[in-house]
């Protein structure tokens, strides 16, 4: 499965017509049009209808389109799906995902081109990551929802995020093992950009492929951290050049700058260069 290039995924309330219509201009690689937490119970139907009207009038561009729907145990699940599956979108994000709800969603959208992102928000979800990711071939990735997870665990949510370390690493690890993409939980203090940078660097270090944002001002910080640095690009170029030379000479494992280089390092270097191209920082 080819991974979508999503460094940042910005949540947009589906009942905000101004933000919905200009979302593709905010710099995020993906937009999550939210029908769940951002919408009050009294506005669920109107938000769905507003999003339906909005998608009629603007065409899909390079931004990845995601719609977060309400969970299976809500009265809005099937109403959301029946409308959303007609949209020109890439993914449906399934709130409070478990095996049962993934299968129910798959049955409703299997005749479309829409894939599934599972949203993990509970202790049970973290405990059953592999089963949830494997419940349907339509599942392409996963987002961690730390706020609801912390509530379920009855733990205090802090900016340092030590309390969610195990869950974050488990999600990133399981997604990598099953060749799925993983999006880290949003950083909820929209005024603290220093801690946003620290938190995003942690997410990258754990193996997440991107991070969700809840404010447009967070996007550029997240994009910058998940974009390959010039140092990473230069090293990747060195590795690829040396690997091509070694192949011509019939050499498998070789040394570069005193360090052994084998297939995993070569593959990672190709990925760095591919992501740098997608981010627009190199053209070749």
What's the DSSP call for residue 90? S
Q: What's the confidence (pLDDT) of residue 76?
A: 96
Mean pLDDT taken over the chain: 93
Task: Count how many domains the chain has.
Answer: 2
Token pair 């949203």: residue: 119
CA distances from 155 to 25, 65, 148, 149, 200 (A): 37, 33, 10, 9, 21
Domain range holding 258?
230-278
- Within this chain, do residues 129 and 250 fall inside the same structural domain, yes or no? no
Q: Answer whether residue 82 is part of any domain.
A: yes
- Within this chain, do residues 234 and 107 fall inside the same structural domain, yes or no? no
Q: How far apart are CA 51 and CA 36, in angstroms?
A: 13
- Give the pLDDT band (50/70/90) at residue 73: very high
Element holding 120 (H helix, E strand): strand 115-120
pLDDT in tens, 175-216: 999 999 999 999 999 999 999 999 999 999 999 999 999 999
Token pair 């030379």: residue: 245
Whole-structure pTM value: 0.92
Q: Identify which of 19, 17, 6, 5 has the alpha carbon closest to the alpha carbon of residue 216.
A: 19
Q: How far apart are CA 232 and CA 279, in angstroms?
A: 14
pLDDT in tens, 221-237: 999 999 999 999 999 99
- Within this chain, do residues 215 and 240 fall inside the same structural domain, yes or no? no
Check if the beta carbon of residue 178 is closer than 8 Å to that of residue 130: yes
Domain final position from 208, 225, 242: 225
Q: What is the mean pLDDT of residues 261-279?
A: 90
- Within this chain, do residues 54 and 118 fall inside the same structural domain, yes or no? yes
Q: Is the pLDDT of residue 54 over 80?
A: yes
Domain final position from 206, 225, 244: 225
Q: What's the confidence (pLDDT) of residue 218?
A: 98
CATH of the domain at 69: 3.20.20.60
Q: Is the pLDDT of residue 1 over 60?
A: no
- Within this chain, do residues 146 and 269 fall inside the same structural domain, yes or no? no
Q: What is the mean pLDDT of residues 49-75?
A: 88
Give percent above pLDDT 70 in the chain: 98
Q: How far apart are CA 247 and CA 212, in angstroms?
A: 40
Q: Please spell the DSSP secondary structure of 165-210, one letter per residue.
A: HHHHHHHHHHHHHTT-EEEEPPP--TT-HHHHHHHHHHHHHHT-SE
Q: Answer whether residue 151 is part of any domain.
A: yes
Q: Answer whether residue 2 is part of any domain.
A: no
Q: Is the pLDDT of residue 142 over 90?
A: yes
- Within this chain, do residues 132 and 271 fall inside the same structural domain, yes or no? no
- Within this chain, do residues 166 and 259 fall inside the same structural domain, yes or no? no
- Within this chain, do residues 255 and 173 fall inside the same structural domain, yes or no? no
């Amino acid at each position: 499965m080819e991974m979508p290039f999503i460094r940042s995924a910005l949540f947009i309330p589906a009942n905000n017509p101004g933000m919905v219509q200009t979302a593709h201009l905010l710099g995020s690689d993906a937009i999550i049009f939210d029908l769940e937490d951002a919408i009050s119970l009294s506005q669920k139907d109107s938000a769905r209808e507003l999003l339906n009207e909005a998608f009629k009038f603007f065409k899909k561009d390079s931004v990845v389109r995601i719609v977060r729907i309400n969970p299976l145990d809500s009265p809005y699940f099937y109403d959301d799906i029946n409308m959303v599956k007609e949209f020109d979108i890439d993914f449906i994000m399934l709130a409070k995902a478990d095996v049962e709800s993934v299968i129910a969603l798959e049955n409703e959208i299997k005749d479309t081109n829409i894939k599934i992102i599972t949203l993990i928000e509970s202790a049970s979800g973290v405990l059953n990551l592999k089963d949830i990711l494997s419940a349907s071939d339509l599942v392409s990735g996963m987002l961690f929802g730390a706020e609801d997870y912390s509530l379920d665990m009855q733990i205090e949510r802090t900016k340092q995020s030590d309390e969610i370390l195990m869950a974050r690493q488990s999600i990133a690890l399981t997604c990598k093992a099953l060749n799925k993409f993983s999006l880290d939980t949003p950083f909820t203090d929209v005024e603290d950009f220093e801690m946003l940078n620290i938190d995003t660097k942690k997410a990258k270090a754990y193996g997440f492929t991107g991070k969700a944002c809840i404010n447009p001002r967070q996007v550029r910080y997240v994009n910058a951290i998940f974009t390959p640095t010039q140092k990473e690009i230069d090293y990747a170029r060195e590795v690829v050049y040396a690997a091509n030379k070694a192949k011509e000479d019939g050499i498998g494992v070789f040394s570069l700058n005193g360090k052994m280089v084998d297939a995993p390092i070569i593959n990672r270097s190709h990925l760095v260069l591919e992501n740098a191209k997608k981010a627009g920082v190199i053209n070749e």
